[in-house]
Amino acid sequence: MNKMIEVRDATKHFGVGEVLKDVSFSVNEGEIFSVVGPSGGGKTTLLRCLAGLETFSAGEMSIDGDDMTHKKANERPVSLVFQEPLLFPHMTIRENVGYGLKFLDISKKEKSKRIDDFLSIVGLPEYENRYPRELSGGQKQRVALARGLILSPKLLLLDEPFSSLDRKLREEMRRWVRRLLKEKNITAVFVTHDQDEAMQVGDVIGVFREGTFEQIGSPEKVYENPQTSEVARFFGDAWVIDEMRFIPKRNLSIERIEIEEKVQWRGVIEGARFVKGYRFMEVLLDDEEEHIMLPAPEDFHTGENVYVSTDASNIRTFQQNREKR
Amino acid sequence: MKLSARIKPWLLLTPALLFLLLPLYGLWSAFRLSVYPDGKLTGQVYVRLFSHSDFLLSFFYSLWIAAASTFLSLLIGWFFTRAFVPMLERTGGRLTVWLPMVFPHFVWAYLVLLLFQEGGLVSGLLPGNRAYANDPEGVGIILTYMGKEIPFVILMLLPVYLTRNRLYDDLTETLGGCWISKIRDAELPFVTPVLIETGIIIFAFTFSAYEVPALVGATFPEMLSILTFDWFYSGDWSERPLAFAAMVFLTTVIGLISLLLFHFINKMRRNITEGL
């Protein structure tokens, strides 16, 4: 598959602080690359460098084989969709969608046709003469996406575009955006701090922390085989025993009694939690002084002493995963 | 509850409305005396006014000075604000803009006299020792107003620039725009309502103020405020209604321009504040 974007040994300094540290990755044509990581880790800086709004302090990047390292933002075949929709409030929806076409050398007729097409694609043809103030948050973000896509960019960058939407709308938008990008075969880098969102939207996941990728791989691979304790803590639903070992949470259970052939940790039920229709119990582990949330089919009571149990074979090491790479 | 919600704004506005009654009473009184000069209703005073060559000359002269002062103050004030926002954010920077606001127009006019009158500090350096105070082109008046109004424009625009979402600049650039598109599409639409509003205030003030043209204006042509003052206090009582008519006309012109522009910016402001 053709590599649409390639970044090699990229770094970025602001003063004495190093925000990006030897970042290297590539994204194939038509692939969606989710960059997920905690806030303040440098994700947005990475995206701004890819867009050309900032320059890498060192390193190279190319898009479709062309060197882009020193090109300005308005010379790159890249569109960026921001956290906020940033629609021009004084322009109609039609004018907003067609904004970038003003800078292209194409006929009026072609411009008009493209705007019509993209208004239909985002399902807002009847809103063309309205102003942004008349649209909901989700509709505004659709317009922002259409405004970016209408330029047929070789690379689409999405910087947490759903973060300002409510949960239900956010989930709808994730599905809709993924379907749209796949239909149009758009290469995209999607930045988020939400692991569910990263998995749902991306074909490939990159866990980004403290200015560098901790791990890159398919969502399933990163989820099942975290290579570092940080990836396991942030991305996988794993209980990290120490910096070397972890147990996937699905291999853990809560027991009332001590079972000799199992590995067990003593704890006390702190309370029940409900996540997406499932009941979980929060257990405070005695030795670890750590909370762990596990599904609990039985009706445990708050304050009850329990054992968090697993088979010894379920204990895995990060080293194993690194070797599997 | 509904009644109180309807009455509440009016109650809150009462002090402002009561205060507004004073100038309205003055305007009404001037209007009454301009249409009842001899106790009989007549439009004769206005016919005399509009056929008076001194009035027409003063009117267009005032219009030129007010328009030039407003335009130049807005343009230079806007340029300064956008160029020096990071400096103006700091207390020292803000103080340098605040200080000129403290001095009265009289002080600025005196400064222009010192610098630009014949033999003045700057005039002496200009080719042909050209003096710009008390000049018939009104440059001295315009310079005085600029000295005072540019800081005012900066202070009005500064909050807009400090709160403006600069991501719009980035957005414009990623969509293919250059620096001109950034100013046109990402900056001016957010600044324009305040620029227009500030322009209305400066225009209304410079069009009708007396102090500055009296100090640094030429003896001919005169600005409208000087002419009406002369008419009002001249020994010939028959000229006093002309002063009233001129003031009523001036107020009407400023009022109509303000209404028109306020209507224009209201829609613009609504789109901007609600559309973000």
What one-character DSSP code corresponds to residue A98?
T
- Residue B215 pLDDT exceeds 50: yes
* Residue type at position A250: R
pLDDT in tens, B244-272: 999 999 999 999 999 999 998 988 888 88
Task: Calculate the CA B97 to chain-centre distance.
Answer: 18
Q: Give the mean model confidence (pLDDT) for residues B209-223.
A: 91
Closest by CA to B248, choosing from B70, B22, B45, is B45
The pTM is what? 0.83
Residue of A nearest to B269 (CA): A90
> B119, exposed or middle or buried, with CB in 10 Å at 0-12, 13-18, 19+?
exposed
State the pairing for strand pair A66-67/A58-63: antiparallel
pLDDT in tens, B38-72: 888 889 999 999 999 999 999 999 999 999 999 99
Report the C-alpha gap between A56 and A69 in whole angstroms. Answer: 7
pLDDT of residue A98: 96
CA-based nearest distance B197→chain A, Å: 18
What one-character DSSP code corresponds to residue A38?
-
Closest by CA to A49, choosing from A57, A41, A39, is A57
Residue of A nearest to B166 (CA): A86
SS3 A317: strand
pLDDT of residue A325: 45
CB contact under 8 A, A103 and B272: no
Report the C-alpha gap between B255 and B249 in whole angstroms. Answer: 10
pLDDT in tens, B120-154: 888 888 887 788 888 899 999 999 999 999 999 99
pLDDT of residue A89: 93
Report the C-alpha gap between A70 and B104 in whole angstroms. Answer: 53
Interface test mutation site (partner B, options A80, A88, A134, A139, max chain B beta carbons within 10 A): A88
CB contact under 8 A, B168 and A88: yes
Q: Which residues are paired to A217 by β-bridges?
A: A205
Residues A4 and A63 sit within 8 Å (Cβ to Cβ):
yes
Q: For the range B181-190, what are the long-range contacts, defined as Cβ-Cβ under 8 Å and sequence gap of 24 or more? A: B181/A102, B181/A103, B185/A88, B185/A99, B186/A88, B187/B82, B189/A88, B189/A89, B189/A90, B189/B268, B189/B272, B190/B160, B190/B164, B190/B272
Among partner residues A82, A102, A103, which is closest to B171 by beta-carbon distance? A82
pLDDT in tens, B147-184: 999 999 999 999 999 999 999 999 999 999 999 999 99
Residue of B nearest to A85 (CA): B276
pLDDT of residue A322: 63
Interface test mutation site (partner A, options B167, B171, B172, max chain A beta carbons within 10 A): B171
| Six token digits for residue A212 | 């560098």
pLDDT of residue A278: 85
pLDDT of residue A315: 92
Domains defined along chain B, listed by start:
42-274 (1.10.3720.10)
pLDDT of residue A323: 58
pLDDT of residue A298: 67
* ipTM of the prediction: 0.85
CB contact under 8 A, B274 and A89: yes
B185-207: b or e for each residue (b if 16 or more CB lie within 10 Å)? bbbebbbbbbbbbbbbbbbbbbb
State the pairing for strand pair A155-159/A78-81: parallel
pLDDT of residue B130: 81
Closest by CA to B212, choosing from B119, B270, B149, B121, is B149
Q: Give the mean model confidence (pLDDT) for residues B209-220.
A: 90
Which helix (H) or strand (E) segment holds residue A263: the answer is: strand A263-275
Q: How confident is the model at residue B185 (pLDDT cuts 50, 70, 90)?
A: very high
Per-residue pLDDT tens digits of chain A, which is 325 residues long: 689 999 999 999 988 889 999 999 999 999 999 999 988 889 999 999 999 999 999 999 999 999 999 999 999 999 999 999 999 999 999 999 999 999 999 999 999 999 999 999 899 999 999 999 999 988 999 999 999 999 999 999 999 998 888 888 888 889 999 999 999 999 999 999 998 899 999 999 999 999 999 999 999 988 888 999 889 888 767 889 888 899 988 899 999 888 988 999 999 998 888 887 888 899 998 876 788 889 886 678 888 999 999 999 999 888 766 655 4
CB contact under 8 A, B173 and A72: yes
- Residue B186 pLDDT exceeds 90: yes
Residues A50 and A12 sit within 8 Å (Cβ to Cβ):
no
